[in-house]
Amino acid sequence: MHIPDNYLSPQTCTFFFAATIPIVGLALKKVKLQVAEKKETVPMLGISASLSFLMMMFNVPIPGGTTAHAVGATLLAILIGPYAASLSVTLALVTQAFLFGDGGILALGANVFNMAVVMPFVGYGIYRLFQKWHHEKLGVILGAYLGINAAALMAGIELGLQPLIAHDAAGQPLYAPYPLHIAIPAMLFAHLLIAGWVEAGFTVAVYQFIKKVAPNELYAAPQKLTAVTPTKKLHRALYTFIVGLIILSPIGLLASGTAWGEWDASELLQQLKTAHLSQVLPTGMAHGLNFNALFSDYAIQGLPLPLGYMLSALTAVLIFYLIGKLVINHYATHA
């Protein structure tokens, strides 16, 4: 679901940056108020960003030779609220794009909109609806499943619109070459069939653990829960879980194939040739941005790929931890 650079036209990228920046700005204001009421929100932002980042490293195979992954945005929204979840997933996506080359720099606005805006707010809205109907667990499952599929639908629409809005005088696409009737089913197939259920399973498992260990930590916990929440115990458990995910992260390498719509230039060109659609890349893609991330594809030069994968995961988690520490120190200084 990470749209690479050169798949979206400059106009599309500009539109989604313009649409996303005010939402992220609003989330910052909302979370600032949330932190003022509950200081524990700050470390949870770093923990949440780590969870989302690591979940996205675990690719799962999809019939047809592609892959997909969970995101965790609905889980985070249930845990720390939709605005805080939006910031956490945004932080994870920015780190992925700039440090690991996962998702485009110019396409970052669209990726944030899909995975850090649409997904947590749709998923959380469904969860809250079912919570009010006294079917909270069902709301967790459906929220996670439908949230990630709403994000996938948006990505399919964005990619599928490109041949309509960005083409040359001869009608040839300049960017993503597949129209809506191909892009939308392809994106939804992977997520309705596999990734959505992985997302739902992971979400409900972590939710049930938190519900048992620290129910007051849930963002929309009923007011009748007045017992003191074992916050430190929950943090230790989540950090232990994160360490486990880091160690297991190379499992994500076992799924072969590139996610639909995330091919590099050579892979896409081969697909176009095989389908007898074109012998050359779309012009805009061939002459677009070529950003070289420091640890592209989570690989570290000179190290075996599994070890590089683990160290990349550890690096990201440390970044999120340090950001959390800086924010905590800022609030302590200005308290």
Mind listing the pLDDT tens digit of every residue in the chain (335 residues)? 999 999 999 999 999 999 999 999 999 999 999 888 887 788 899 999 999 999 999 999 998 888 999 999 999 999 999 999 999 999 999 999 999 999 999 999 999 999 999 999 999 999 999 999 999 999 999 999 999 999 999 999 999 999 999 999 999 999 999 999 999 999 999 999 999 999 999 999 999 998 888 888 888 876 544 444 567 788 888 999 999 999 999 999 998 889 999 999 999 999 999 988 889 999 999 999 999 999 999 999 899 999 999 999 999 999 999 988 887 776 666 65
* Helices and strands (DSSP H and E) totals, the chain: 13, 2
What are the Cα distances from residue 326, in Å, to 66, 232, 322? Answer: 39, 19, 6
pLDDT of residue 299: 92
Q: What is the pTM of this model?
A: 0.95
> Could you name the CATH architecture of 10-333?
Orthogonal Bundle (1.10)
Rounded to an integer, what distance in angstroms lies between the CA atom of residue 75 and that of residue 127?
10
Of residues 257, 242, 246, 240, the one with CA closest to residue 306: 246
User: What single letter denotes the amino acid at residue 115?
Assistant: M
pLDDT of residue 223: 56
pLDDT of residue 42: 86
Rounded to an integer, what distance in angstroms lies between the CA atom of residue 53 and that of residue 109?
17
pLDDT of residue 36: 84
Tell me how far apart the terminal alpha carbons of the chain are, to the nearest angstrom. Answer: 40
- Name 293's Cβ contacts closer than 8 Å, sequence gap at least 6: 97, 98, 99, 100, 101, 102
What are the Cα distances from residue 246, in Å, to 107, 235, 264, 287? Answer: 27, 16, 26, 36
pLDDT of residue 283: 95
Burial class (CB in 10 A: 0-12, 13-18, 19+), 39: middle
